[in-house]
Amino acid sequence: MRTVVECLPCFLRQAARVARVAGCAAPVREKVVQTVAGLIATMDLNSSPPANAEDIYAAIHRESGCADPYADIKKRSNEQALAVVAGIEAEFGGRPLPLATALRLAIAGNAIDYGAFAASEIASTLATSRTATLAVDHSDLLQRRLDGLRAGDKVLYLADNCGEIVYDRLLVAHLASRGLAVTVAVKDGPIINDALVEDAQAAGLDRFAALVSNGSRCPGTVLERCSPQFRRLFDSAELVLAKGQGNFESLSQPGREVFFLLLLKCRVAAVHMATLLGRHPDDLPGRGEMAVYCSTESIKRGTP
């Protein structure tokens, strides 16, 4: 997915927000936004929004002097989610959740996103996630893919944000209960509230999966910016699951099958998905619709 004009003011809003979160004085906030405005003026719009965001956030960090402005928020997000998930796990008697339930709760966790939202909307999303209709629903296809796997087959799970990864644990535990060899990939360094290895450990994901860095600080998965080791994992996995809109924006046409689990949080990404599916753009307004989307559904259609 390429960057479009509508993405540009969003980058500016994010720059101003991060500068405030970092506690920058007014002159520094102004410098941050001016620097980002300069980057936007020369931005390659053929690159994906996450690829451009990585460069923007690197500039924000340089100007603000704060490498990880969301550090405290990330920690709190994990702690709050752990308390909620403990109750969910108790509800199921400590057994792995059914796939449909685990999928919906993992998607609901995608509301914890300080790039798209100024504050978390997880409470209301969780409340409706178990019964809400999925706007895009390829979960039956995912079920068939899982049923075709054997014990020991490799599943690569591309994680997204802190807090959210605790809800991912419910789905990762389901996959592990099938005897699959699950690897969870996280970011190599701070970017917004995206999870790092230590965050995934705090979320308890290491109980069910191997944890790896993808070698990149991009708020998505831009393969050419990832490490060779990660790219080998990506190519060799029998199944790839990708969480969040940033992963969809950067991997929507990856040349292999990927299942995306996300909330559609902006009009641009929603229209892109609708186009890939051959649906009318108004079908997906980008207001928090839940989606399980398989990339091969557009590949089969020949959608560019």
- Note the pLDDT tens digit of each residue in 179-211: 999 999 999 999 999 999 999 999 999 999 999
Same domain, 117 and 212: yes
Instruction: Report the first-to-last Cα separation within the chain, whole angstroms.
Output: 10
Same domain, 173 and 253: yes
Q: Of 23, 39, 64, which marks where a domain is finished?
A: 64
Q: Is residue 91, in this structure, part of any structural domain at all?
A: yes
Q: Of 16, 42, 64, which marks where a domain is finished?
A: 64
Q: Is residue 274, in this structure, part of any structural domain at all?
A: yes
Copy the structure tokens of residue 176: 């592990």
**Domain span at 271:** 71-301
CA distance 154 to 168: 17
Give residue 181's pLDDT.
98
Q: Which residues contact 72 (CB under 8 A, 6 or more apart)?
A: none
Secondary element (H or E) of residue 240: strand 239-243
Same domain, 76 and 59: no
Q: Is residue 106, in this structure, part of any structural domain at all?
A: yes
Same domain, 202 and 267: yes
Same domain, 30 and 139: no
Give residue 255's pLDDT.
82
Q: Which residues contact 148 (CB under 8 A, 6 or more apart)?
A: none
Same domain, 20 and 126: no
Give residue 241's pLDDT.
98
Per-residue pLDDT of the chain (304 residues; tens, 9 = 90+): 999 999 999 999 999 999 999 999 999 999 999 999 999 999 999 999 999 999 999 999 999 999 999 999 999 999 999 999 999 999 999 999 999 999 999 999 998 765 544 444 566 677 788 888 999 999 999 999 999 999 999 999 999 999 999 999 999 999 999 999 999 999 999 999 999 999 999 999 999 999 999 999 999 999 999 999 999 999 999 999 999 999 999 998 768 999 999 999 999 999 999 999 999 999 999 999 999 999 988 655 554 4
| Structural domain total, the chain | 2
Sign of the four-CA dihedral 31, 35, 36, 37: positive
The enclosing domain of 269 has a CATH number of 3.40.50.10880
Same domain, 11 and 128: no
Q: Which amino acid makes up residue 260?
A: F
Give residue 254's pLDDT.
66
Q: Which residue has the tokens 């995206």?
A: 194
Q: Is residue 2, in this structure, part of any structural domain at all?
A: no
Same domain, 255 and 212: yes
Tell me if residue 114 falls in helix, strand or coil: coil
Give residue 12's pLDDT.
95
CA distance 79 to 166: 9
| Residues 292/277, Cβ–Cβ less than 8 Å | no
CA distance 225 to 108: 28
Same domain, 108 and 157: yes
Q: Is residue 32, in this structure, part of any structural domain at all?
A: yes
Same domain, 297 and 183: yes
Copy the structure tokens of residue 49: 């929004």
Same domain, 292 and 235: yes
Same domain, 28 and 173: no
Give residue 207's pLDDT.
97
Q: Of 29, 46, 64, which marks where a domain is finished?
A: 64
Q: Is residue 57, in this structure, part of any structural domain at all?
A: yes
Give residue 132's pLDDT.
87
Q: Is residue 232, in this structure, part of any structural domain at all?
A: yes
Rounded to whole angstroms, what are the CA distances from 100 to 105, 137, 151? Answer: 9, 11, 20
Q: Is residue 1, in this structure, part of any structural domain at all?
A: no
